[in-house]
Amino acid sequence: MNNKVVLAFSGGLDTSFCVPYLKNEKGLEVHTIMVNTGGFSEQEAKAIEERALTLGAASHKTVDAVDTYYNKGIKYLIYGNILKNGTYPLSVSSERVFQALEVLKHVQEIGADYVAHGSTGAGNDQVRFDIVFEILAPQVQIIAPVREHSFTRQYEIEYLQKNGFEASWEKAKYSINQGLWGTSIGGVETLSSDGYLPEEAYPVQVTKTTPEHIKIGFHKGEPVSFNGVEMSPVEVIKAIREVAAPFGIGRDIHIGDTIIGIKGRVGFEAAAPLIIIKAHHLLEKHTLTKGQLYWKEQIAGWYGQQMHEAMYLDPVMRDMEAMMDSIEQNVTGEVEVALMPYHFSVLGCKSEHDLMSSKFGAYGEINKSYTGQDVIGFTKVIANPLKIYYSVNEK
C-alpha cells in the first residue's frame, strides 16, 4: 500500500487534529478535501485551505457540491416534508453521503490507499462516511483517529499546541456543522437530557423583533421564488435563511435513536428548512388528492429514515424519488408566511391547481355539484356495512 491518505477536512478541531497526527504518528502523506454543501463562503473556504496547508497537508482540494446536494437530496426532503421525529429536518445527516461520495472521487483521482475522517465513535457520522467506502471502495483502508483512540477534545487541543499550532478551548467549546439545509450545534449541554444551549451557542443571534411577511413560490414542489423574485431553489433557501434566522426561528433540540443504537441529542438552527417544509406541506394539502397525500406520507417517512441512517445508496431510494417526482407535478403556487421572534405562521396560499375550488362550493356553506337529498342517500349507503354489523352483533 502507498502512504497517501485523503482526509475529509472541515477546519474544525477534530479534522485539524487529524492532519499532524496522521502525518507525524502514522507517517502518511495527508491530502485534505473540503466538500462545501452550503456551509462556507468563498472567503471561509479559502481560510480552511490555508489552515490545512499550515497544519502540514501535502495538498488541499475544495469541492462545491451545493447544487448536487440540493438536486439529489434536499429536493426530496422538501417533497417528503421530512422532519425526523417531527422535529429535525436532517440538516447534517443528509449532507454526509454527498460529502463522502466527493471524498471517494478524490481518493480515486490521486490513487490513495487510505481515507480518513474526524468522527468520534459515539455518533452517526462515522457510519455515514464509512458505509460509502465499504460499499463502493472496500479496498481502501479507513482511518478515524479520534474514534480509534477515544481522544478527548482537550487532548486534541493540547496535541495541536504541543506541535506549534493554534488551538483553544473557547473556540472548540461547541461543535458546529453548518450547511445549506441548516446548522447542528453540539456542546456539553446536549450531552444530558436536561441541558439546553445558551444564546451564544447559536451562530445567528436574534436581532429582529418586528414581524415581517414573506412569500415563497413553488413550481412542481420546488421553491423557485422569494417575495415575487424568481431564483434558483438554492438561492431561495439562502434568502429565507437571511431574513428569518435573525428572528431566532428554526431553533430546537433533536432527540433521536442513532444508527449505532443509542439515544442522541443535538441542537440545531434551521430557519429556512422549517419554513419551506411547512409552506410546501400547506400547498400540497390544497393541490394533491387524498390518495396522493396518504401514500406520499407513507414513503416519505421511510425515505427520511433511510437518509438519516446512511442508506442513501439503497436502490429503493431511487424508486421512492421517482414516485415523489410524479406526485409533485401539480404542487405549484405561492405561500405567504408571517415571521415573528422565535416562531412563524403559514398564512395561506394561491395556486391554479387548488382543489379547494369555488366552482364546487364552499365548505360548510354551500355545494354546487350535489343536493342535500343526495347526501342523505350517500350516507345511507356508506352506513350500511356497519348497520349490518351492529344488527348481527346487537348484544
Does the CA dihedral 194-198-204-205 come out positive or negative? positive
Cα–Cα distance measured from residue 70 to residue 76, given in angstroms and rounded to the nearest whole number:
9
Domain boundary among 173, 204, 231: 173
- Integer CA distances (angstroms), 78 to 51, 101, 298, in order: 35, 22, 15
Q: What total of structural domains would you count in the chain?
A: 3
Contact status, residue 174 vs residue 201, Cβ threshold 8 Å: yes
Residue 36 located in a structural domain: yes
Q: Looking at residue 286, which CATH number applies to its domain?
A: 3.90.1260.10
243's enclosing H/E stretch is helix 233-244
The kind and range of the H/E element at 34 are: strand 29-36
pTM of the predicted model as reported, rounded to 2 decimal places: 0.92
CATH number at residue 38: 3.40.50.620
Which of 28, 59, 20, 303 has the alpha carbon at shortest distance from 142? 28
Q: Are residues 261 and 317 in the same domain?
A: yes
Among 40, 39, 31, CA closest to 61: 31
Query: Does 79 fall in a domain?
Result: no
Q: Give yes or no: residues 213 and 196 share one domain.
A: yes
Q: Give buried/exposed letters for 150-176 (b at 16+ CB in 10 A, else e).
A: ebebeebbebbeebebebeeeebebbb
Q: Which residues are within 8 A (CB) of 187 and not within 5 positions of it... i.e. 6 or more apart?
A: 173, 174, 175, 197, 201, 267
**In this structure, is residue 145 part of a structural domain?**
yes
SS (H, E, C) 207-229: CCCCCEEEEEEEECCEEEEECCE
Residue 311 domain flag: yes
Distance separating alpha carbons of residues 130 and 132, to the nearest angstrom? 6
Tens place of pLDDT per residue across the chain (395 aa): 799 999 999 999 999 999 999 999 999 999 999 999 998 999 999 999 999 999 999 999 999 999 999 999 999 999 999 999 999 999 988 999 999 999 999 999 999 999 999 998 888 899 999 999 999 999 999 999 999 999 998 999 999 999 999 887 666 678 888 999 999 998 889 989 999 999 999 999 999 999 999 999 999 999 999 999 999 999 999 999 999 999 999 999 999 888 888 888 999 999 999 999 999 999 999 999 999 999 999 999 999 999 999 999 999 999 999 999 999 999 999 999 999 999 999 999 999 999 997 676 566 566 777 888 888 999 999 999 999 999 999 87
Question: Cα–chain-centroid distance for residue 355?
Answer: 30
Domain span holding position 299: 178-350
Residue 126 lies inside a defined structural domain of this protein: yes
| Whether residues 166 and 183 fall in one domain | no
Residue 161 and residue 291 share a domain: no
Q: Looking at the structure, tell me whether residues 99 and 13 fall in a common domain.
A: yes
Helix (H, G, I), strand (E, B) or coil at 264: strand
Distance CA 145, CA 253 (A): 28
